[in-house]
Amino acid sequence: MFKNNRSLLIIALIAVINSLGYGIIIPILYSYSLKYGLTDFENGLLFAIFSIFQFISTPIIGRLSDKFGRRPLLISSIFGTAVSFFMAAFAPSAFFLFLARALDGITAGNIPVASAVISDTTSDKERAKGFGIIGAAFGFGFVFGPAISAVTLRYGENVPFIIAGVVSLITVFITYFFLPETNKHMGGHVNLRNVFDFKKLVTAVADKATGMTLLLSLIYNIAFGLFIFTFQPFAVKILELSANTISVIYTIYGIVGLVAQGLIIPRVVRKYGEKNGLLFSFILGTLSFIGMYVSRDVTSFIVISVAFGIGNSFFLPVVQSLLSKEVDAKSQGTILGLNSSYISLGTIIGPILGGFIATFGIPLPFILGAILSCICFVLVYTKIKSSYHHEESLA
C-alpha cells in the first residue's frame, strides 16, 4: 500500500511522531499533577478537559478540512499540540496545567483529519487495512513514547513534556514539506455558519446508516475513558508503582497494540468480518475490566492489561472503516470528525465518572467499564442477528 500511496506513508510517519508526544506524557500525567495538589476527582477533570475541548473543536476542524483541505488543518493543529506540551512543562500552577491540556484539546483535530486523508486515498476494499496501518503507526509511537518517559524522568519531571513538544514540532515540519493535499472535493457544499451542529450531534445516533456505529463510539469510549483515568491512581495507590514503572507498563501496552493492529486485526477482519471483530473486542474488554477490578498484584494486572490492549486495538480502525463506508466521498472528513466528537464525549464522561466513583473506592470504575463493554457487545450482536434475519427474508 505504501508503494502505491505516498500520502499513506507520510500519514503513517506523522502518526508515529505525533503519537510519540502523546505516549510520552500520558503515563506520567497523573504522577506529575500530584505535585500541584490535585485530588483524584480533580485529576479526573484534568484528564477530561482535553476531551472537552477536543469535543468542541474536532467537528469544526473536520468540516474545515472538507472545505479548505487536509494539509493546512493538520499543520495548525499539530503546532498547537506542540505549544501545549511546552506550556505543561513550565506550568507554574495547576491552572496553567489545565490550560495546557485545554489547548491540546482545541488543536487535537489531527487524528480525524489524518483519517480523512486515508479515506481520500484508499478504496473501500483497502480502507480497513489502511486504518489498521495507521493504528499500528500510532501504536508504534505509544511503544517508544512511554519508554522515552521512563528514561528521561531521571533528568527532571518536566523533561518528558519538553521532548513531547520537540517531536510535535518535527511533525509540523514533515507535514508542511512532504504531505500533498489529498482532498479533491474542497469548497462548495460545506456550510461554515453552522459548523458545530448540536442538533445533528444529538440526532446522529438515530441515523439509519451511521447511528449504531456512532452510539458504539460513545458508549465504548466512556468505558475506555474510565480505563485511561483509573489505571493510574490504581497503579500509584493500590499497586504502589512509580511513574517509571507505569511508563514501562504503557510501553508493553503499546507493543501489544502495535502487534494487534499490524498483524492480528487485518487477518481477523478478513476472515470473520468487521462486526465479529468488534464482538471479540467487547468480550475481551468485559473480561479484562472484571480482571482488573479483582487484581492486586503487578504481574496479573500487566497480563490483564495486555488482554485489554488486544481487544481495544480492534475498536478504532474497525469503526473508522465502517463509518467511511456508510457515507459518500464528500462527507468523509465530516463523519470522521463527528465520530471524533463522540469519542471525545465518551472520554469526557469516562474520566469524570471515574474520578467521582474512585472517591468511594479506586477499583470501582472498572466495574462500570465492564458493564458498558457488555452493553456494546449486546448492541453489535443484536445488529448482526437483525441483518441476518433481514437477508433471510429477502432470500
CA–CA separation, 178 and 247 (whole Å): 32
pLDDT at 190 over 70: no
> What's the confidence (pLDDT) of residue 154?
87
- 185 within domain boundaries: no
233 versus 207: which is more confidently predicted? 233
pLDDT at 394 over 60: no
pLDDT at 159 over 90: yes
- 193 within domain boundaries: no
> What's the confidence (pLDDT) of residue 2?
58
Least trusted range by pLDDT, from 62-71, 77-86, 138-147, 324-333: 324-333
> What's the confidence (pLDDT) of residue 318?
80
Q: For 277-282, what is the mean pLDDT?
A: 85
- 190 within domain boundaries: no
Q: For 185-202, what is the mean pLDDT?
A: 65
Q: Which residues fall within 8 angstroms of residue 228, CB to CB, at 6 or more apart?
A: 26, 47, 347, 350, 351
Model confidence at 114, pLDDT cuts 50, 70, 90, reads: confident
> What's the confidence (pLDDT) of residue 125?
72
Model confidence at 392, pLDDT cuts 50, 70, 90, reads: very low
Task: Give the 3-state secondary structure of residue 55.
Answer: helix
Q: For 39-62, what is the mean pLDDT?
A: 85
> What's the confidence (pLDDT) of residue 103?
92
DSSP state of 360: T
> The domain containing residue 312 runs over which residues?
6-180+198-394
What are phi and psi for residue 27, nearest 5 degrees? -65, -20
Contact 336/112 with Cβ under 8 angstroms? Answer: yes
> What's the confidence (pLDDT) of residue 387?
58
> What's the confidence (pLDDT) of residue 391?
45
pLDDT at 146 over 70: yes
CA–CA separation, 373 and 350 (whole Å): 13
User: What is the dihedral angle through the alpha carbons of 74, 161, 257, 253, rounded to the nearest 10 degrees?
Assistant: -170
CA–CA separation, 8 and 3 (whole Å): 9
**Direct distance between the N- and C-terminal alpha carbons of the chain, in angstroms, rounded to an integer:** 37
Number of separate domains in the chain: 1
- Alpha-carbon dihedral sign for residues 257, 279, 224, 206: positive
- 188 within domain boundaries: no
Q: In CATH, what number is assigned to the domain containing residue 104?
A: 1.20.1250.20
> What's the confidence (pLDDT) of residue 310?
85
Model confidence at 191, pLDDT cuts 50, 70, 90, reads: low
Q: For 337-355, what is the mean pLDDT?
A: 86
- 146 within domain boundaries: yes
pLDDT at 390 over 50: no
CA–CA separation, 377 and 276 (whole Å): 10
> What's the confidence (pLDDT) of residue 84?
92
CA–CA separation, 9 and 7 (whole Å): 5
Q: If you search the block for the grid coordinates 469519542, which residue do you land on?
A: 343
- pLDDT above 70 as % of the chain: 89
pLDDT at 349 over 50: yes
Contact 336/120 with Cβ under 8 angstroms? Answer: no
- 191 within domain boundaries: no
pLDDT at 126 over 80: no
- 329 within domain boundaries: yes
Task: Give the 3-state secondary structure of residue 92.
Answer: coil
Per residue in 360-378, pLDDT (tens digit) is: 999 999 999 999 999 999 9
Contact 100/82 with Cβ under 8 angstroms? Answer: no
- 192 within domain boundaries: no
Q: For 238-257, what is the mean pLDDT?
A: 86
